[in-house]
């Protein structure tokens, strides 16, 4: 049975859907004012793997991930760039989709944008005002009455008393309580805005997801997911809004991906260790980055470093080298069913990808043995490896495509590499080991790494050098 760690209960519990065989999952997406960074990639890949596995297991998944396309950061960045908010957001959304495609992240079923759901957001705020959970301030802002909602803080473990004592001394005179948060921001002169009963303005950040999830899935979600920084205040405020407006549980399971650290430090622009996805992909094969992000459990933090990416590259090399020169069966037969069984057991245990990958490495060992023995089971083992790895979005390239890459201007060509490998083999046959070493070093200086095995010499381009 599938078990999921629920942030709300702080425990791993059996998954029970609202409707048999169906899952409604909402994941908080990106505020599109800049290029996506490696932290965004962690969330994207984590929930992509989760969705792929659920569908492979037979679930019908309605996967919704929103886009915040109006926000203070967006407005400031557009003004700095001298472009319209719409032009900036369209550019950043297109770039996000390019990054996702490179990382083999499948598009969600629905990708609602805030600007397309303004009527729904305004209607949601109206519901909260009518129920006494929200009020209009003198300047046209609309705030949520936090202390009216029983159970505020249940997701994050925050206590109302502690929040109140920790609130700023300088209380905003517009608010009834310093804990209240904004649902609608009154527009200032020249700002992008929409008309409402409280005056022209735009929504606060938290209300967007409450409104869009209700429209795209319903009043109760099976799963609500997001990044490590969202339990408080964002998801806490979503619960308060949604349960006050809908009179029912907002989400039955809360899932949060772990943080990305850079060389054991928190990633931030102030520390100058902030990496966009596209910058990372200039140095590393996209599948190496995806493997790196998948190699740790989605809830644990992951350390981004050169050594981590090198380890990911080496791991993928083992997979692709095992598959190199082998035809694989599209419908594998005769393979020990324990591989799939243990793979599923790992994934059913809160999507434990490290354990699932360990099963794949065992399959690689048997595949290599079958290659040495020229076993008739060889294409079936290769097919099973491709099939199970595909559930994680891995092994999507041909072995040669991954290991050798494409010829690029200024690089030594594949034909030249093969010629030098033949010359090195001849030198070794003639016991000219110094000459063979010189050829190896000549190739290494040009970013080509040789791997000698019983089957011969394979090579790959070292994209990290």
Binding residue positions for Zn(2+): 28, 209, 234, 238
Give the residue among 39, 167, 43, 182 at the shortest CA–CA distance from 121: 182
Ordered DSSP codes for 126-179:
HHHHHTTSEEE-TTS-EEE-GGGSTTTTTTTT--HHHHHHHS-SS--TT-SSTT
Check: CB of residue 419 under 8 Å from CB of residue 411: no
Residue ranges of the binding site: 28, 209, 234, 238, 269
Check: CB of residue 277 under 8 Å from CB of residue 36: yes
Measure the CA–CA gap between 89 and 33, rounded to whole angstroms. Answer: 6
Bond before 53 cis per omega within 30 degrees: no
Positive/negative CA dihedral, 375, 381, 386, 387: positive
Residue ranges of the binding site for ATP: 269
Question: Torsion angle, CA of 92/230/281/54, rounded to 10 degrees?
Answer: -100
Measure the CA–CA gap between 314 and 403, rounded to whole angstroms. Answer: 11
The helix (run of H) or strand (run of E) holding residue 1 is none
Q: How far is CA 129 from CA 132, 241, 360, in A?
A: 5, 11, 54
Measure the CA–CA gap between 62 and 68, rounded to whole angstroms. Answer: 19
Distance from the Cα of residue 234 to its chain's centroid: 18
Measure the CA–CA gap between 107 and 147, rounded to whole angstroms. Answer: 38
Measure the CA–CA gap between 338 and 335, rounded to whole angstroms. Answer: 9
């Amino acid at each position: 049975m599938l078990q999921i760690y629920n942030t709300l209960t702080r425990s791993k519990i059996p998954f029970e859907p609202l409707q048999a065989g169906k899952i409604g999952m909402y994941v908080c997406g990106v505020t599109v004012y800049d290029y996506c960074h490696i932290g965004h990639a962690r969330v994207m890949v984590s929930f992509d793997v989760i969705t792929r596995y659920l569908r492979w297991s037979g679930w019908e998944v309605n996967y919704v991930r929103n886009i915040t396309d109006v926000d203070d950061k967006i407005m400031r960045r557009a003004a700095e760039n001298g472009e319209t908010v719409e032009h900036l957001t369209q550019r950043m959304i297109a770039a996000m989709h390019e990054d996702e495609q490179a990382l083999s992240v499948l598009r969600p079923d629905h990708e609602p944008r805030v600007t397309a759901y303004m009527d729904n957001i305004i209607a949601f705020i109206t519901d909260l005002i009518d129920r006494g959970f929200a009020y209009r301030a003198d300047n046209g802002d609309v705030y949520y009455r936090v202390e009216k909602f029983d159970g505020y803080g249940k997701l994050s473990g925050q206590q109302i008393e502690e929040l109140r004592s920790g609130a700023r001394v300088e209380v905003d005179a517009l608010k009834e309580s310093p804990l209240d948060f904004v649902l609608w921001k009154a527009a200032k002169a020249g700002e992008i805005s929409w008309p409402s009963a409280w005056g022209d303005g735009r929504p606060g950040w938290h209300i967007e997801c409450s409104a869009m999830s209700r429209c795209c899935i319903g009043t109760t979600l099976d799963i609500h997911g997001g990044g490590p920084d969202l339990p408080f205040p964002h998801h806490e405020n979503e619960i308060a809004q949604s349960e006050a407006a809908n009179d029912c549980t907002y989400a039955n399971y809360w899932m949060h991906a772990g943080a990305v650290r850079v060389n054991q430090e928190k990633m931030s622009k102030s520390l100058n260790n902030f990496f966009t996805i596209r910058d990372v992909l200039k140095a590393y094969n996209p599948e190496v980055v995806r493997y790196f992000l998948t190699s740790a459990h989605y809830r644990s933090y992951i350390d981004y470093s050169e050594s981590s990416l090198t380890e990911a590259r080496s791991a993928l090399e083992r997979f692709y080298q095992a598959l190199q020169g082998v035809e694989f069966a599209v419908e594998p037969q005769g393979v020990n069913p324990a591989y799939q069984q243990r793979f599923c057991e790992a994934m059913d245990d809160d999507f434990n990808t490290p354990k699932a990958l360990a099963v794949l490495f065992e399959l690689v060992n048997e595949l290599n043995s079958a290659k040495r023995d020229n076993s008739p089971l060889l294409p079936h083992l290769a097919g099973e490896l491709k099939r199970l790895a595909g559930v994680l979005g891995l092994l999507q390239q041909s072995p040669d495509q991954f290991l050798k890459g494409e010829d690029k201007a200024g690089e030594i060509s594949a034909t030249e590499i093969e010629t030098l490998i033949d010359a090195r083999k001849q030198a070794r046959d003639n016991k000219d080991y110094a000459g063979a070493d010189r050829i190896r070093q000549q190739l290494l200086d040009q970013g080509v790494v040789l791997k000698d095995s019983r089957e011969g010499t394979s090579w790959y381009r070292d994209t990290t050098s």
